[in-house]
Chains A and B, each alone.
Chain A
Amino acid sequence: MSSMEISNISKEKLRKLFSEKKRFDGRDLLEFRDIKLSYEVSNKAEGSARVTIGKTDVVVGVKLAPGEPYPDSLDKGNLMVSGDLLPLASPRFESGPPDFQGIELPRLVDRAIRESGMINLEDLVITKGEKVWTIFIDVYPINDDGNLIDAATIAAIAALKKTKLPVLDKNGNIDFEKPAKESLSISKETFPLSFSFYKLGDSIILDPTREEEEACDARITFGISLWSKQHVLNSCQKAGFETFTQEEIDKIMSVIAEKYDELNQKIKNYL
Chain B
Amino acid sequence: MTKRSDGRKNNELRPMTAKVGVIPNADGSAMFSFGKTIAIAAVYGPRLLHPQHMQNPSKGILRCNYDLLSFSVSDRKRPGPSRRSQEISKVTEWALSPVIDLNQFPNTVIDVQIYILQADAGTRTAGINAASLALAHAGIPMRDLVCSLAAGKLDKELIIDLTKEEEDFKEGEGATDFALAKVANSDEFTLLQMDGKIQPALVSELTVLAAEVCKQIYEVQKKALKEAVTSHSTKEDKKKK
Contact = CB atoms under 8 A, between A and B. Distances in A.
B199 A237 contact: no
Given A236-B192, A243-B190, A244-B192, A103 B87 contact: yes
B190 A233 contact: no
B220 interface: no
B187 interface: yes
Interface in A226-271: 227, 230-247, 249-250, 253-254, 256-257
Nearest to A219: B94
Interface stretch (B10-18, B110-118, B203-211): B203-211
B194 interface: yes
Nearest to A224: B200
B86 A235 contact: no
A238 B199 contact: no
B189 A245 contact: yes
Contacts of A233: 194, 197-200, 203
Contact of A236 (B90, B190, B194): B194
Contacts of B188: 243-245
Interface residues of B, number: 32
Contacts of B199: 230-233
B91 interface: yes
A111 B186 CA distance: 30
Contact of B208 (A107, A227, A239, A246): A246
Interface string B186-229: 11111111111111110110011001000000000000000000
B241 interface: no
Interface centre among A230, A245, A247, A249 (most CB of B within 10 A): A249
B183 interface: yes
B65 interface: no
Contact of B193 (A218, A236, A242, A254): A236
Contact of A243 (B75, B90, B183, B194): B183
Interface of A: 72, 100, 103-104, 107, 111, 115, 218, 220, 224, 227, 230-247, 249-250, 253-254, 256-257
13 contacts: A100-B90, A107-B83, A233-B198, A236-B194, A237-B193, A238-B189, A239-B91, A242-B98, A243-B188, A245-B189, A246-B187, A249-B204, A253-B204
- Across the A-B interface, give the 5 residue pairs with the lowest CB-CB distance, nearest first: A243-B188, A236-B194, A238-B192, A253-B200, A246-B187
